Amino acid sequence: MPHENLTLIQRLQEYGVFNYIWLVLFAAWAGIAKYVSERIKAKERPTIGGAFLHTIAPAFVGAVTGFVCQSYKLDPYITNAIVGVAAYNGVKSIDIISSIIKKEIPNKKNTD
């Protein structure tokens, strides 16, 4: 079965649900790391609530980045590194990812 014809469920089965869970948790950890480092630089005390809130966007960014990396069939180690950096940078990474996707969509239409 060609990779590009797989449904999301089939991709989850192929790549493994636990790998996606790992990517999201890894991205969330990157968000916490950035939050704590920002609080330390600002000489403020990090809070549990603040840390939790700062895990949501990075987890989403990490999941999206993981999907993009998988579509390019990147090595899992490279994927984890890219997910970590993208999650650390947070929502700013979405702009970069969306520009990659916008460039890729016309190429997909032309090959069909």
Domain contains 66: yes
pLDDT 10s digits, 35-81: 999 999 999 999 999 888 888 989 999 888 988 888 888 888 898 89
Contact 49, 85 (CB under 8 A): no
Contact 27, 89 (CB under 8 A): no
Domain contains 11: no
pTM given for the model: 0.71
Domain contains 10: no
d(CA 56, CA 63): 11
Domain contains 112: no
Domain contains 51: yes
Which range among 43-52, 56-65, 90-99, 103-112 shows the weakest confidence by mean pLDDT? 103-112
Domain contains 5: no
| pLDDT score for 6 | 67
| pLDDT score for 43 | 95
Number of domains comprising the chain: 1
DSSP-derived letter for residue 12 is H
**Cβ contacts of 69 within 8 Å, gap of 6 or more:** 78, 79, 82, 83
| pLDDT score for 4 | 62
Q: Which domain holds residue 73?
A: 18-106
Domain contains 22: yes
**Cβ contacts of 80 within 8 Å, gap of 6 or more:** 23, 26
